[in-house]
Amino acid sequence: MAILSRPGCDLYYETAGAGPAIVFAHGAGGNHLSWWQQVPIFAEAYRCVAFDHRGWGRSVAQEDGSGAAAFVDDLVALLDELEIEQAALVAQSMGGWTCLGAALQHPERVSALVMGGTVGGLTTDKIPPITGAARSRLRDEGLAKLAYHPNLRERDPALAFLFDEIMALNPPVAANLTDVLAELAPDPGAVAALKMPLLWVVGGNDPIVPPAVLRAAQAHVPGSAFFEVPDTGHSVYFERPVQFNMQLNSFLVESGWGSSVF
């Protein structure tokens, strides 16, 4: 059990494997366990790090008001603690704020960036009209109902059950989380100027961050890549791990960051 003491939080993390580093940052419906279909695969060629955001999973946070505003500093502190000079960052949903923020504030520490089901708060003249309806639906129906495609319960009931069980290990998500994250929106110009390899991943039926949102984000960042998985909801990495892992593997290899695990 590995703990990094941070102001207002004991940050929980796990590591596996050796080689170039990959850090996995979960979404609001997950925690470090969410990456169980990625870590064992990529640990064959990479040093994999999975952690719990403060207030999620085993990362016990004090009520000091820092919350999501400390996500980026927590990630950078974790890199320092593990003596990782540079890492590929793989984000899911809420984790996009963490990883995109780190890429903007410390680009020299980020070798490659993967944004799954997230634009990390990026707002442009193309994105706001697309996201409004999705945000309203999230508030009306709740994260638990929208975290993955409804057909997952029929296609793979055990996998859907496991997602629910992992999510249930977290404390209740704050009702104002989306509002807090909205206040942390990055500068669009700075995002467009990012130089590290960047991949946007989305499920074709994602109700929270629809494909059109990530298409707009891709168009905003010259040279970035886009990967859409049909008949899949908000959690591609969990719902379609084979497709996600194959794409992540190819992206990292093509980015020159590591060796193929397949």
Write down the domain spans for the chain: 2-253
Mean pLDDT for each 10-residue chunk of the chain (262 residues)? 92 98 97 98 98 94 78 98 98 97 98 97 90 80 91 97 97 78 92 98 96 97 98 98 98 94 96
What superfamily in CATH does domain 2-253 come from? Alpha/Beta hydrolase fold, catalytic domain (3.40.50.1820)
Check: CB of residue 23 under 8 Å from CB of residue 79. Answer: yes
Residue 1 buriedness (CB in 10 A; 0-12 / 13-18 / 19+):
exposed
pLDDT reported for residue 64: 60
Check: CB of residue 248 under 8 Å from CB of residue 114. Answer: yes
Q: How far apart are CA 20 and CA 125, in angstroms?
A: 37
Report how far apart the first and last C-alpha atoms of the chain are (Å, whole number).
Answer: 30
pLDDT reported for residue 139: 81
- 88-109 burial, b for 16+ CB within 10 Å, e for fewer? bbbbbbbbbbbbbbbbbeeeeb
What's the predicted TM-score (pTM) here? Answer: 0.96
Residue 186 DSSP symbol: P
